[in-house]
Structure 1
């Protein structure tokens, strides 16, 4: 993903509009997989409390999904920031925006699962508290 002016202030939007192609491109970059043709727009509108988009110069440069159980539990999924903008605090701002909106929506808990190398980000920078959890791999 190319950002024309990386010093421009990013625009964050709760439930911001996006095209499936641009989110598939960002996801492939951030999670290092082949480009897919997933219907993100339908998926998040059906299953998510909301999501946060980040744009710079009109380009989708960041995203985080806030899934939920329909009650008081929300779940962060797919926190993404384009490679040229990483380690500049943008992901933390995405998560802060997600926290604000999940709280305003009446959620009592915001959960996140992460790989060990992301512990410092989620625990130290974003304020998540480590908890015991369980996981069953289904495939």
Structure 2
């Protein structure tokens, strides 16, 4: 198992957090946390910082670059910034039931809806075609 996965598990145990609670606290998807815990991937820097703040551990420790675990206690507290706006529970429930290809389709549709909402609706001028017989010269 990877150092990041091991240390993430340790930090979660020490904080008494499940992956669902960590997801809710950080705004990071449960699937991402699951992939990190299984050593499939290592979190990117911004996510490591978010995880470290929520678990009250040092981000460098999570990544395995230092052995000092709780540096955050000596640092001044920073205001917590919510990563994402609140999402309707129905949307979260639907999202969690979808597999990756269907999630991609849903995101594509949602982006199209957003584009339509942002774009001004074009005004069409109707041009009437003249009907008539063509004259032969």
TM tier relative to shorter chain? under 0.3
More strand by share: 1
More helix by share: 2
TM-score normalized by the length of structure 1? 0.25
TM-score normalized by the length of structure 2? 0.25
